[in-house]
A and B are shown apart, each in its own frame.
Chain A
Amino acid sequence: MYAPFELDIPTDLPGALAALANGAGETVLPIAGGTNLIVDIRARRERPDRMVGLGEVDELKGMEFGPERIAIGGRTTVSDLLRAPEIAREAPALIDAARLFGGLMVRNTGTVAGNIASGSPAADLVPPLLTLDAELTLASANATRTMALDDYYLGYKEDARTPDELITRIAWPRLPANAVNSFYKLARRKGDAITVTGVAVTLAAADGRCTRARIALCSVAPVVFRARQAEALLEGRALTPALIDEAAAEAAAAARPIDDIRASADYRRHTALALTRRLVGQAWDRLA
């Protein structure tokens, strides 16, 4: 069923990074939940010589809720998110996404870092994290660096991670006081389905003006992306239906969708607009 591969099971982070580092001439892949990778290996789309299992690396687990920032380990599972009341308060969009993420078995094993690193344009956890201004910590045996999630994707299934690096941590600042953060997954059924159009929004307001706008979309372009022009239209202004329409149109215009078995590009553009308008409108109504 599977082509043969070697499997390392390091018990700590240095061990894992060392195992990834020594991959001269071979294809070495880290595996955490494996909910994408195993499927790809079975289908012979991936043919690793060696895999580094992260299941025993406890440094990659855990959540920290600081006064200003929240950080979670890369091996945090989707179910871990759902079990954390503080995440529900501080990152409601992430919970919106997590609740409809795969099926229960996938949620129990699939990890946040894995969802990010898969590079899928349909990665549901990424739009919420983008609207939270999330930052990634990437570690290798030699160095550790941090980068904005927004800078992580370079193109379709291309990302900034080098083969010897792991996403060890995902962190984001707490939401400002008067803020709304939400995500909507449009799919061909309610749960356990690949997203057709996904939109996440963060809106904060003070004194009747929008002080922060973040809009991120998945499944409507080669990569998950932030609709920066749409955000720029909203920030600093009092939102009106006309302005929201304009921003939604900007977001849809920034999409570069394709036709696939789930939906046409036209439908994706149509729903990117409709859902952006709806989520921004609903957020503004709640802030007012």
Chain B
Amino acid sequence: MSRTESDAGARPNVQFRQVGKPLTRTDAPGKVTGRTPYAGDYVMPNTLHMRVLRADVASARLTRLDVSKARALKGVACVLTAADMPDRTSATDIPGQTGQKRLDTDQPILVKDRVRYFGEPLALIAAETRDIADHAAELIEFELEPIPGVYDPLEALKPGAALVYGADNIVAERKIRKGDIEAGFAEADLVIENTYKTPFQEHAFLEPEVGLAWVDENDVVNIRVSTQVIEHFRPIADAIGVPHNKVRVRGALVGGGFGGKEDLTVEVYLALLAKHTGRPVRLEYSREDSFVGHGKRHPFVLTYRTGVTNEGKITAMDVQMIADAGAYVFLSPYVVLYALVAAPGPYRVDNLNVFARAVATNNMYTSAFRGFGALQACAAYEQQMDEIAGTLGIDRLELRRRNFLKTGEPMSTGFVPPSAIWTEQCAEQAWAALGEPAPVQGPIRTGRGLACYQQSYGRLTFLHDTSEAWVGVEMDGTVVVRSGVTDIGAGQISALGQIAVEVLGVTLDNVVIYNSDSAVTPLAGTTTATRALYMTGNAAKQAAETLRARLVERAAREFGVEAGDVDMAFNEVFVIDRPEKTMPLVNLVRICAAEGIHRSELAIFRAPFGDFLDPETGQGQAHPDYAYGAHAVEVSVDVETGEVEVLKSIAAHDVGQCINPAAVEGQIQGGAQNGQGYALSEEMLYEEGRLVTPSFSEYLMPTAMDMPRVECIILESRSGVGPFGAKGIGEPAMTAVAPAIANAVADAIGVRVFEMPITPERVVRALQQRDAS
């Protein structure tokens, strides 16, 4: 790992004592020693075990559902079907978390009469043991009368297509109309048009969905669940018909999310059965349940038409995007919005048309996944940049240099990102780090690829996002942080600790963080959208700074100096440059306590609040800010078998400011793996909507044998809108990986595979087609 700082955008006189250091994360010891309980580890006496019965076809009418035998089975406590709750639906849209009006996107909790996707839930079972619940599922009799479905979004747009949603299957439509597209193309010396396809992807978190629910003495439904979003307590309450304050979601440390635990998963089922039975209920998805039980990454078809001058300057860009939304809305409208905004990538395109649509099919519904539409756009625009460079005969990095969006320039929506744009620095460093090329041998060819990206961090500004954190100092000088933020494995809570102790001048081993309880920790919003550090980090910093100001003010009086002369570090309070004027923090805290000085603070951080983008032009502020960076790879390709091996994988990201560089590197390593699988080996195959790759023996993520050493180059512009100038790295780490690999494969074999994953067979076919023509 290497880190680079530059004067550009860097703040002077920043000296950190805790931030920016690769400290052992607060969650690490418990995880390493196995003490950390995950949601599935919690037990309660008298618990019932649940099972979800699912439809085994994708498009059908439910003509018969008879649960009488299952209900009669000894040990079965409860079987629920839609008949037991005919009007119950659950929300699939996000803005409920921030008080914005929700779109009408509800999904029936259980199938009433119409099955729209393979795996749609038919019945919920609770029994004394998991085996009895499984047996009961086998006793449920149902008949599904097949209805012709539609399984391809392009087909779904045709007149006469089977209807899955509304009158035309169009779930969402977004536009950008910027500059003068005709004039831009007229100015071009060359117009290049290509269509790129990206696939479904499974989140494949280590920990499948799991939860435990019970009704407490206050008649509150408590749900201990593996989730990215504890604030689903509101839609859960709406779904089961109780007031919002009668549902409490308690998270646990999460074994991976990647967007797949952003929507509701098992919560509503648990809440319903806890309420119906009055007993604790537990539901744990098997891996196979998990494969069919949550939404996937949207496959996209993206057509890029780019006008360029002979010198490689982009004069116009027209982009058409179609995303497969699957059978229910979920986050599709926002995913295509992200794709729309990201369409030109980190490039200055003044004449821009983008048209992005999400189209319903009878495939599995699609929703949030790391990169959230912007990643699919990157997969296309970065391959298109290489196609342009190849056609013009311009070096690929040089072509990019001639078009990079620069700090202070307006992006696709006309918005000027407030932070530094260091795409060029990242691209140059990643490309240079590839070093000497590997030798070419026989049928093994090598090639190199580069991809740059723009990825937002923080949620859409029209959501009016807020986050809260509470920081307090105990009587012995130790620190407590409380915040509802969920930690999905990337060190979200440890970062809050590191921020709080930096401000309060203590060390990380002196902080304990309570998180992820919708009833008792201040609500912090979601751990999604690369927002946790930006939002909750800022809230924790604000709270700690307010608290620090009170402590310092009291210390200054004690020392007889101005507050500005007092500093706090390593659990001591002292006067700067006066070594004799010092006291342990604990002494100061005791003074404050004796005098009733408030030793804690609750802060709220508000992201910039905006309106929807203009519906006709797509102009406005979509997000608070953007992160930029690059990924470079070297691959070898066996031109006889089509096998691709990634030999070098180098990431360069401007993260603004590292809070914990080890955690940043962890995100980058994971992103490199996640993106490599997406590019090469991970494939979800649906046959008439039925998933035929529902386990890890068919769905192949890269293992250690497939991964090269990933080199992380971390740049710090200190210009971000997060705490201490931080940006975000959760999603950005993955965004550019797949197109970099695609570009390297094309470089190696001289022909492009326009559809991911780039399987050995697709490579061979591309070579055969080239040889035939």
A residues apposed to B, CB below 8 Å: 1, 100, 103, 186, 188-194, 196-197, 261-264, 267, 270-271, 274-275, 278
Contact = CB atoms under 8 A, between A and B. Distances in A.
B131 A188 contact: no
29 contacts: A1-B131, A100-B705, A188-B681, A188-B760, A189-B681, A189-B702, A189-B703, A189-B706, A190-B645, A190-B703, A190-B705, A190-B706, A191-B705, A193-B700, A194-B698, A196-B760, A261-B683, A261-B692, A261-B693, A263-B759, A263-B760, A264-B761, A271-B640, A271-B760, A271-B764, A274-B640, A274-B641, A275-B640, A278-B640
Contacts of A262: 698
A187 to B, nearest CB: 8
A286 to B, nearest CB: 15
Contact of A267 (B685, B697, B705, B760): B760
A193 B695 CA distance: 12
Contacts of A100: 705
A104 to B, nearest CB: 10
A197 B765 CA distance: 16
Given A188-B759, A188-B760, A274-B641, A1 B700 contact: no
A188 B700 contact: yes
B134 interface: yes
Overall SS of chain A's interface: loop
B761 A267 contact: yes
A1 B134 contact: yes
Contacts, number: 61
B706 A194 contact: no
Contacts of B428: none
A225 B231 CA distance: 58
A278 B643 CA distance: 14
B130 interface: yes
A57 B32 CA distance: 37
A175 B213 CA distance: 64
Interface in B665-700: 680-681, 683, 685, 692-693, 697-698, 700
Interface string B416-447: 00000000000000000000000000010000
A190 B644 CA distance: 10
Contacts of A103: 703
Contacts of B680: 189
Nearest to B442: A278
A138 B697 CA distance: 31
Nearest to A273: B640
Interface of B: 130-131, 134, 443, 640-643, 645, 680-681, 683, 685, 692-693, 697-698, 700-703, 705-706, 759-761, 764-765
B685 A270 contact: no
Overall SS of chain B's interface: loop
A107 B645 CA distance: 24
Central interface residue in A186, A262, A263, A275, by most chain B CB within 10 Å:
A262
Given A188-B681, A191-B706, A262-B698, 14 more contacts: A1-B130, A100-B705, A188-B683, A189-B705, A190-B645, A190-B706, A191-B705, A193-B700, A196-B760, A197-B641, A261-B685, A261-B692, A267-B764, A271-B764
Contacts of B764: 267, 270-271
Contacts of B760: 186, 188, 196, 263, 267, 271
Contacts of A271: 640-641, 760, 764
B703 A191 contact: yes
Contacts of A188: 681, 683, 700, 759-760
Contacts of B645: 190
Contacts of A192: 703, 705
Nearest to B707: A190
Contacts of A194: 697-698
A192 B701 CA distance: 10
A188 to B, nearest CB: 5
A51 B637 CA distance: 46
Given A191-B705, A264-B761, A267-B761, A186 B643 contact: yes
Given A190-B706, A270-B764, A275 B697 contact: no
Contacts of A189: 680-681, 700-703, 705-706
A215 B234 CA distance: 64
A250 B521 CA distance: 70
Contact of B641 (A193, A264, A275): A275
A1 B284 CA distance: 13
B129 to A, nearest CB: 10
A264 B134 CA distance: 36
A275 B641 CA distance: 8
B272 to A, nearest CB: 24
A151 B134 CA distance: 42
B764 to A, nearest CB: 6
Contacts of B685: 261
Q: Which 10 A-B pairs have the closest CB atoms?
A: A274-B640, A190-B705, A267-B761, A191-B705, A189-B700, A189-B681, A188-B700, A190-B706, A271-B641, A189-B706
A83 B131 CA distance: 40
A271 B640 CA distance: 7
A188 B443 CA distance: 18
A124 to B, nearest CB: 14
A118 to B, nearest CB: 14
A105 B273 CA distance: 37
A18 B681 CA distance: 46
